[in-house]
Structure 1
Amino acid sequence: MRIRRSRRAAGAAAVALAVTAAVLAGCGRGGGAAGAGTGELKLAGAPVLTSTDQQRTATAGADQVFGLDLYRALAATHGDNNLVLSPSGLTTLLALVLPGARGSTAQELTAALHTELTPEQYAAATGELDRGARTGLDGKAALEQSDTLWAQQGLPVQQDYLAVLAGAFDAGVRTTDFAKDPEGARKAVNALVEQQTHGQVKDLFGPGAVQPSTLLALTDALYLKADWAQPFKPAQTGPREFHTLAGRTEQPPTMAQEGRLRYAAGSGGITGQPWQAVELPYASGHLAMDLLVPAQGGFDAFRRGLDQAQLQRITAGLADTEVDLTLPKFAFETDSNLNDPLVQLGMRTAFTPSADLTGIAGHDAPWRVRLTTVVQKARITVDEQGTVAAAGSGAVAGVSAAAPAATRTELHIDRPFLFLIRDTGTGLPLFLGQVTDPAAG
């Protein structure tokens, strides 16, 4: 699909993981030519891995649960700030790691991902969900996802592992020399991610993240640009009040439109807080952004009580309604180190010298491999024309029926809210986040 670039909406998310030898010196690795280099992209000859409908449905549901787990963990550290993350990007990255994990490392990773599938089945289902989200888009939407494995020159990566990556994600391996030129290798990895996200994600790995002891780096780059099915008219955009989570009242540029949208409202559930929700479809047909708006003063309780069951009840309760909607424009970036959140979610062993990733480099490798750094950087821009890299999550129980079609419902978003961009066919959560201050970059 040809990508239409626009200054009006641009954004992306990328996640990456670095794997290093547990022994940081004296590894005795094979070298290679001096300098990092980008290496030649090599794809293992492997058939495309497929999954059943039941496996894909289970995996999409598991991704929702994992995404909400991660959102709560990151919200606890980001506090009252704006936040955007990509559940799909991170689950895809971990699906690249899982086939190489063994023992308790694999068990903890499987539990954190809420899946009962084998590593190969989970990779196949994840790959098919990712491809399904990218199909059926027209010229007003673009969704691209790229996965890459970078390996130290001379590292004997297992062919069975490479075959899973190729069959599930069409992912190949590039070689570089982390040992001799870690800074050059870092720049090469970052440059490819920047290219894959059309310049939206820069410097994914910060200075010092790649060391001479690094053996592998895996990256997932996700880029979305989509126009609204019903764009907002710029002439109707103007300053309107927004009450931030910090208690300030600001007047950010706020869009407005009236029209028939899928809407729901309710109260109760775990939080007992009233809420409203509206879905803004993209012109692609099966991608949409859901906005979840708790009542003034109820945001903290709402996000703490959000779980998959409540999210599904909210989205299932959306129905066509005449809506008078106002929505502030927003654009911001979130840069997260995910080591601690993933440990909190149960991935403890993978970051320790006891990690077992022998499915990647083999039992006979002279180096014990463990994860050292997992990072994600996501960016979102929302304006009158559309969106890129939006993330949203939020839910409460007690969905009520939408207002009758003849009644116009008012939803003026003048307070903190959650957003979710998803594939409405499968429920796959592409991006998720919160807007607490639309004026904050």
Structure 2
Amino acid sequence: MLRISILIFCVVLGAVVGARDSSRDRRPIHASRQLDGIPTFAVDLYKNLVRLATSQAANLAISPFSAEAALTLAFHASNGETKTEISRVLGGASANASDFGQKISSVNVRISPATYTLQTANGLFFDESYELDQANRNRLAQKFVAHIESLDFHGKAEESRQEINAFVATQTHQKINELFTAGSISQETRLVLVNALYFKADWEKPFDGEATKPHPFTLLSGQTKPVPLMYTETTVSYGVIPELRNAQVVELPYKDEAVSMFVVLPDERSSLSEVEDSLTADSLNMALVRMKKQDVHVFLPKFKVSGGSDLVQALRSMGINSAFSSQADFSGISSKQGLQITQVFQQVVLEVNEKGTEGAAATGVQLTLMSLRPDPTQVFRATRPFLYFIRHNQSNSILFFGRVTDPTV
């Protein structure tokens, strides 16, 4: 009997992946039920990546939306315990293909390019020799608006890799040109599922470029280094989060306020690690409810981050286990047995400046033959490590989630 593996690649243009001190608590953070508002999945995925990181790298970022899209495709190709585990980790939000399809449609709603660009696309690439259940294949294509293409993985693995990479590059406006590196697509590959995400938007109120000045930024080590610090005085939603040791949070909307960046700044008497340890979807959602519009002096460093991260262990810690084992059941896409996930990888790049933000994401799934109350005017000065997330407000999708500990790397 042929044994097949699913290899999930998440590549995100929109943020950097770094690592954390291995001395931190490495107990798993388990995904819980889906909440109204910020998804538990997004927070748990971020916290598990922080917990599992093995080195003291500076910045970290992921695209929960792209990871969710890839896992949702895998969910609708699975059955049995595999399906149950993936659903539990996703919080049940993606169990209904129509619901997730509506979320994708919401993200893809036609918007004037003069306002902002936000789009996502799915692709399904299968080996011409492999038998896919036609009904299930059509269901995935229709529900997820997927581009479907037959390739010769067995005879032309390298050409097939280039074809998939070309699809991703087109969908991400040439920001991700090599989702699959040389040799990652082999003769044993039978199916690749891809999600791509691209985002570019100007701030509702841009920062004044002439106000950007070098300013000391305090690193995790306690040392300081000069960074280009942007400044604006504006009326935005602002609050303090008692559950996160009185961290400040500010919402910076993009044009038309359909998408916003939220920046969570630890209190000076606290630390980034203490805030991350206390971080939950509940605490963030409560903060969003408490936030009020008020005048704020906002200081935020310019930053551009990029990198990659393997998500397998994080997803295992969150509760997806059978999908990575010989007990995996992906009969929802093919009657042949032996499908299992072997790798989940995400690569990210994000650039934030005075004008706005640009980011993109791509996720691929490969199946292969294997063996405090504020004052009237607040000051939000992000001159020390902070968290951020970018949310599509209508669907509550977290497009990007990360941390900045050194804006210059």
**8 Å contact 1:319–1:401 — kept in the other structure?**
no
Equivalent residues in 2 for 1:66-105 (5 A)? 66-78=41-53, 79-105=56-82
Asked which structure has the greater CA Rg, the reply is 1
Counterpart residue number, 2:219: 244
Deviation, 1:181, is 2.4
**8 Å contact 1:63–1:113 — kept in the other structure?**
no
Deviation, 1:427, is 2.1
Give deviations 1:181-202, integer Å, cap 9, x for gaps.
Answer: 2222222212211111011113
**Partner AA of 1:127 in structure 2:** G
Counterpart residue number, 1:129: 103
Identify which of 37, 40, 44 aligns with 1:65. 40
SS of aligned partner of 2:333 = helix
Identify which of 366, 369, 385 aligns with 2:339. 369
**8 Å contact 1:320–1:402 — kept in the other structure?**
no
Give deviations 1:132-155, integer Å, cap 9, x for gaps.
Answer: 133263322000101011101122
TM-score normalised to structure 1 length: 0.78
Which structure carries more relative contact order (alpha carbon 8 Å, separation 6+)? 2
Deviation, 1:59, is 6.0
Give deviations 1:109-135, integer Å, cap 9, x for gaps.
Answer: 111111177x4x1x2212211221332
Identify which of 156, 166, 172 aligns with 2:141. 166
**8 Å contact 2:207–2:355 — kept in the other structure?**
yes
Q: What CA distance in whole angstroms lies between the structure 2 residues aligned with 1:136 and 1:175?
A: 29
Q: What CA distance in whole angstroms lies between the structure 2 residues aligned with 1:234 and 1:256?
A: 8
Counterpart residue number, 2:246: 274
Q: Percent identity?
A: 29
Equivalent residues in 2 for 1:6-45 (5 A)? 22=3
Equivalent residues in 2 for 1:326-405 (5 A)? 326-362=299-335, 365=336, 368-389=338-359, 400-403=372-375
**8 Å contact 2:196–2:360 — kept in the other structure?**
no
Identify which of 246, 250, 255 aligns with 2:230. 255
Q: What CA distance in whole angstroms lies between the structure 2 residues aligned with 1:390 and 1:382?
A: 13
Counterpart residue number, 2:385: 416
Q: What CA distance in whole angstroms lies between the structure 2 residues aligned with 1:149 and 1:315?
A: 37
**8 Å contact 1:209–1:373 — kept in the other structure?**
no
Q: What CA distance in whole angstroms lies between the structure 1 residues aligned with 2:162 and 2:93?
A: 37
Q: What CA distance in whole angstroms lies between the structure 2 residues aligned with 1:185 and 1:279?
A: 43
Q: What CA distance in whole angstroms lies between the structure 2 residues aligned with 1:209 and 1:112?
A: 27
Q: What CA distance in whole angstroms lies between the structure 2 residues aligned with 1:291 and 1:317?
A: 15
Q: What CA distance in whole angstroms lies between the structure 2 residues aligned with 1:251 and 1:173?
A: 49
Give deviations 1:27-73, integer Å, cap 9, x for gaps.
Answer: xxxxxxxxxxxxxxxxxxxxxxxxxxxxxxx9674871111111011
Identify which of 161, 164, 168 aligns with 1:186. 161
More strand by share: 2
* 1:431 correspondence with 2:400: yes
**Partner AA of 2:91 in structure 1:** H
Counterpart residue number, 1:145: 120
For structure 1, the residue ranges without an aligned partner over 5 or more in a row are 1-20, 25-57, 392-399
Counterpart residue number, 2:258: 286
Q: How many corresponding residue pairs?
A: 367
Q: What CA distance in whole angstroms lies between the structure 2 residues aligned with 1:438 and 1:222?
A: 23
Identify which of 298, 316, 331 aligns with 2:271. 298
**Partner AA of 1:359 in structure 2:** G
Q: What CA distance in whole angstroms lies between the structure 2 residues aligned with 1:390 and 1:308?
A: 24
Counterpart residue number, 1:155: 130
Q: What CA distance in whole angstroms lies between the structure 1 residues aligned with 2:261 and 2:323?
A: 34
**Partner AA of 2:75 in structure 1:** L
Q: What CA distance in whole angstroms lies between the structure 2 residues aligned with 1:92 and 1:321?
A: 36
Q: What CA distance in whole angstroms lies between the structure 2 residues aligned with 1:390 and 1:418?
A: 19
Q: For structure 1, which segment, 235-244 or 157-166, has the greater mean C-alpha deviation from structure 2 after superposition? A: 157-166
Q: What CA distance in whole angstroms lies between the structure 2 residues aligned with 1:164 and 1:63?
A: 28
**8 Å contact 2:107–2:119 — kept in the other structure?**
no
Identify which of 54, 63, 86 aligns with 1:109. 86
**Partner AA of 2:111 in structure 1:** L
SS of aligned partner of 2:149 = strand
SS of aligned partner of 2:66 = helix
Deviation, 1:285, is 2.4
* 1:322 correspondence with 2:295: yes
Q: What CA distance in whole angstroms lies between the structure 2 residues aligned with 1:344 and 1:302?
A: 20
Q: What CA distance in whole angstroms lies between the structure 1 residues aligned with 2:219 and 2:210?
A: 25
SS of aligned partner of 1:199 = coil
For structure 2, the residue ranges without an aligned partner over 5 or more in a row are 6-32, 362-371
The structure-2 alpha-carbon separation of the partners of 1:126 and 1:59, relative to structure 1 and needing over 3 Å to count, comes to farther
Deviation, 1:167, is 2.7
The structure-2 alpha-carbon separation of the partners of 1:375 and 1:60, relative to structure 1 and needing over 3 Å to count, comes to farther
TM-score normalised to structure 2 length: 0.84
**Partner AA of 2:59 in structure 1:** N
Deviation, 1:226, is 0.5
The structure-2 alpha-carbon separation of the partners of 1:63 and 1:109, relative to structure 1 and needing over 3 Å to count, comes to farther
